[in-house]
Amino acid sequence: MKFQGVLFFPVTPFTADGSLDEERLAQHIDGGVAAGAGGVFVACGTGEFHALTPDEIERATRVAVETTAGRVPVLAAAGGPTLVARDQAARVAQAGADGILLLPPYLVTAPQQGLVRYVEEVTAASELPVIFYQRGTARLTEKTAAEIAALPRVVGLKDGLGDIERMHRIMRAVRAVPGTEDFQFFNGLPTAEVTAPAYQGIGVPLYSSAVFAFAPEIALAFHRALAAGDRPLLDTLLDEFYGPLVQLRDEVPGYAVALVKAGVALRGLDVGGVRAPLVDPAPEHLARLSRLIDHGLEVVGA
């Protein structure tokens, strides 16, 4: 399972009564794939994984699989308590996913060998390939990363820490393990475009784009500019769109998800609000987001 291009992390739409809106999820995913997504990661961080029931994760995965119809790989999340994560892994496999994004254990700070054990036990619950997400309570040493990378079904590591030096050391340790030639690394920071040039510099071109969920035109223009080394366009987008977006995102905890969902609604698809403990953007923040989107589209000529 090799990825190229911009990776799409759809939001999870909810109806007026707060239940999963499968019809709008299908529309959202179909639009993203048609726009040129390189892969769909459903019910993950941007999709409010933390607030979904196991049944909703399974249903969302099934919708994604049916909607993409094999056009791009579909991965879904598992994570949290080990037995819960095992159940989620089995469910998304049953729903037809191509792989799993494995999030960290819940709330505990584990020793390194405990993290290896966690990955071993969850990956044993299905035959699907797994990308491990390093963030929060899961901070790997080079030795642990190499040990996890050597596990039979682990095919990638997504970094949500943002420590470039640490990530580079991890990459070198993993690359020294026989059989990891196709192992893939991902930049998984919020608003990943801001750090994409730095990650590209250490050999990590893949990143998850939350912006793609509501403004694929901007996300794709940035991705093309990064690949082509178009510094003027990169600088303009970073200074006039991504930088101000990050500033807005950081004003309220949880806006890394809530702003994305609001952006999808601003672009014409009513996906509902976010579930607690997140909050929907305030009216003045929505207005700023709307102006940012309009300006970003203008910069890229969309």
Q: Which amino acid is at 165?
A: E
pLDDT band with cut points at 50, 70 and 90 for residue 108: confident
pLDDT at 50: 95
Residue 225 located in a structural domain: no
Neighbours of 212 (CB within 10 A): 28
Percent of the chain at pLDDT > 70 equals 100
In sequence order, what are the beta bridge partners of 130?
100, 154
Tell me whether residue 293 is in a domain: no
Domain membership of residue 202 (yes or no) is yes
Judge whether 46 is annotated as a binding position. yes
Active site residues: 133, 158
**Does residue 246 form part of some domain?**
no
Range of the domain at 116: 7-215
Q: How do residues 54-74 score in pLDDT, each as one tens digit?
A: 999 999 999 999 999 999 999
Identify whether 272 is part of a domain.
no
Residue 266 lies in a domain: no
- Give the C-alpha separation, 94 to 59, whole Å: 10
Phi, psi angles (nearest 5°) of residue 98: -90, -15
82-111 average pLDDT score: 95
Please check the confidence at residue 248 and state whether its pLDDT lies above 90.
yes
CATH number of the domain residue 147 falls in: 3.20.20.70
DSSP 251: T
Span 268-285, pLDDT tens digits: 999 999 999 999 999 999
Is residue 161's pLDDT more than 90? yes
84 pLDDT band, cuts 50/70/90, is: very high
CB proximity list for 197: less than 8 A, separation 6 or greater: 226, 234
Q: Tell me if 299 is assigned to some domain.
A: no
Considering the chain, what is the average pLDDT of its residues?
97
Please determine, for residue 100, whether its predicted confidence score (pLDDT) is greater than 90.
Answer: yes
Structural domain count, the chain: 1
pLDDT recorded at residue 302: 81
DSSP for 15-65 reads -TTSSB-HHHHHHHHHHHHHHT-SEEEETSTTTTGGG--HHHHHHHHHHHH
Examine residue 22 and state whether it is found in any structural domain, yes or no.
yes
